[in-house]
Structure formats: structure tokens, C-alpha cells
């Protein structure tokens, strides 16, 4: 998919004053929101269809980001704009030496296309043990998403220098089960100049809805 970059007209952009406040008036800052997602339906459906959970999660998060312009902000030639979508960059864990390698897969609105590309990328580059796979650095218009499957968490914060970095940083954790519900923690860190609490709420609502309705995209 072609990923176009669209310049923002500050004179017409509703968030122009908010952006200016969090980049010029106060020191650039980021914040983190931690939530618990219900993945009961999603996990059961994926298991029944023998589909891996992590790439499905990558797809759903990327899809929710695609629907929220504020989460797709970026700079190109020092000019502010937004991408059509963001590609997920994620770490691969190596069991042999307990290290990670960063890999990325191009987002596609069609889940089957994205899923097959993820499998292809992991088969081709999954054996690399350098910090960045031989596929190379992700293209502009990407974000970082990771998972710590060994434990669940109530709070997880990523520390970044928010100056001129606007893509979300996302971390998920291990599952927990109670009264038949399977839960998964999710942490999202974002530059405050890019998004406020409302935009995060819209993103999370879209993500949870898609997890509850796999028949709509699977």
C-alpha cells in the first residue's frame, strides 16, 4: 500500500493551539495510559482458526491507528503532517540467547495480506540476531509495538524524548483469566502535542470493538 504524507495547514487545524502549547509554551511532554482489554472472543476465535495472536494484535492496533489521524502525526522535511497509516515495528525474542531483534511489517487493510506478510518476514528475517534485522530500518510512517508475554501488568511506562516524535509507543502483556474472561493489559505512550485523552479513548474503543467482532475483519 502506498503511504502518503499530508501536510497540515496550521491555520485550519483544530489542534493548532494545543500543538503550539505542548511544543512551545511548556516543555515537550508525553504521557502513558494503561488499560485492560477483553480478548476473550478474539483469543478463542483465533485459536479455533489456528491464527497466531501477536500478528492479529499488530493488525488490530495498526487498523485502529489508521482510523485516528492524531495518532499518525509525523514530520517530513521538518514539516508537520500525517501519514495514511503507520507500519508496526516490533521486537522478535530469541530463545537461544535471550536477546531481541527489531523487525517491521508493512500494514495492509486486508488482514490476510498483512498476516501472510508477517509470516514471510519472520521466516526470512527471524533468525537475525542483530538489534535491527537485515530487512533494515522501517520506513517513515511507522510506530513501535511490543509484547512482554511472560507476565501481566497494571502499569507500564515507556520513557521517550517527546520532542519531534509523535508516533505512539505501545506495549502489551501476558494474559490473565478470571470468571471466564481473558484479559490483556495494554500501555500506550503518546506525545501530548499529538493527542489528548479523548483521542486515546476513541482509539481504545475502536480496538476493543474490533477484538469483539473478529468476523468483521478475519
| Cβ count near 209 (within 10 Å) | 12
pLDDT for position 1 = 85
Tens place of pLDDT per residue across the chain (218 aa): 899 999 999 999 999 999 999 999 988 789 999 999 999 999 999 999 999 999 999 999 999 999 999 999 999 999 999 999 999 999 999 999 999 999 999 999 999 999 999 999 999 999 999 999 999 999 999 999 999 999 999 998 877 776 789 999 999 999 999 999 999 999 999 999 999 999 999 999 999 999 999 999 99
Check: CB of residue 89 under 8 Å from CB of residue 103: yes
Helix (H) or strand (E) holding 76: strand 73-76
**Nearest 5 degrees, angle CA 184-CA 188-CA 194?**
155
Q: Which grid cell is 6? A: 499530508
Q: Which helix (H) or strand (E) holds 173?
A: strand 169-173
Q: What letters, b where the CB count within 10 A reaches 16 and e where it falls short, cover 3-21? A: bebeebeeeeeebeebbee
CA 60/CA 54 separation, integer angstroms: 10
**For residue 71, which of 201, 187, 203 has the smallest C-alpha distance?**
203
Query: Are the C-beta atoms of residues 58 and 88 closer than 8 Å to each other?
Result: yes
| Residue carrying C-alpha cell 508537520 | 80
Tell me which residue of 169, 141, 191 sits closest to 5, measured CA to CA.
Answer: 141
- Model confidence, pTM: 0.96
Please say whether the beta carbons of 104 and 142 come within 8 A. yes
Query: Nearest 10 degrees: CA dihedral of 92, 98, 159, 208?
Result: 50
Amino acid at each position: 500500500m502506498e503511504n502518503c504524507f499530508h501536510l497540515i495547514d496550521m491555520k485550519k487545524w483544530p489542534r493548532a493551539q494545543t500543538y503550539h502549547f505542548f511544543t512551545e509554551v511548556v516543555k515537550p511532554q508525553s504521557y502513558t495510559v494503561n488499560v485492560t482489554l477483553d480478548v476473550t472472543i478474539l483469543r478463542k476465535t483465533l485459536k479455533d482458526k489456528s491464527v497466531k495472536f501477536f500478528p492479529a494484535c499488530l493488525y488490530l492496533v495498526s487498523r485502529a491507528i489508521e482510523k485516528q489521524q492524531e495518532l499518525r502525526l509525523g514530520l517530513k522535511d521538518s514539516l508537520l503532517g500525517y501519514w495514511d497509516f503507520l507500519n508496526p515495528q516490533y521486537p522478535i525474542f530469541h530463545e537461544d540467547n535471550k536477546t531481541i531483534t527489531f523487525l517491521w511489517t508493512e500494514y495492509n487493510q486486508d488482514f490476510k495480506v498483512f498476516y501472510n506478510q508477517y509470516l514471510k518476514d519472520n521466516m526470512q528475517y527471524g533468525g537475525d540476531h542483530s538489534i535491527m534485522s537485515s530487512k533494515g530500518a522501517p520506513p517513515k510512517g511507522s510506530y513501535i509495538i511490543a509484547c512482554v508475554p511472560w507476565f501481566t501488568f497494571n502499569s507500564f511506562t515507556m520513557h521517550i524524548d517527546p520532542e519531534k516524535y509523535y508516533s505512539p509507543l505501545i506495549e502489551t502483556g501476558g494474559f490473565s483469566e478470571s470468571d471466564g474472561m481473558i484479559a490483556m493489559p495494554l500501555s500506550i505512550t503518546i506525545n501530548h502535542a499529538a493527542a489528548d485523552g479523548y483521542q486515546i479513548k476513541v482509539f481504545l474503543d475502536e480496538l476493543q470493538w474490533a477484538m469483539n467482532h473478529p468476523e468483521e475483519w478475519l
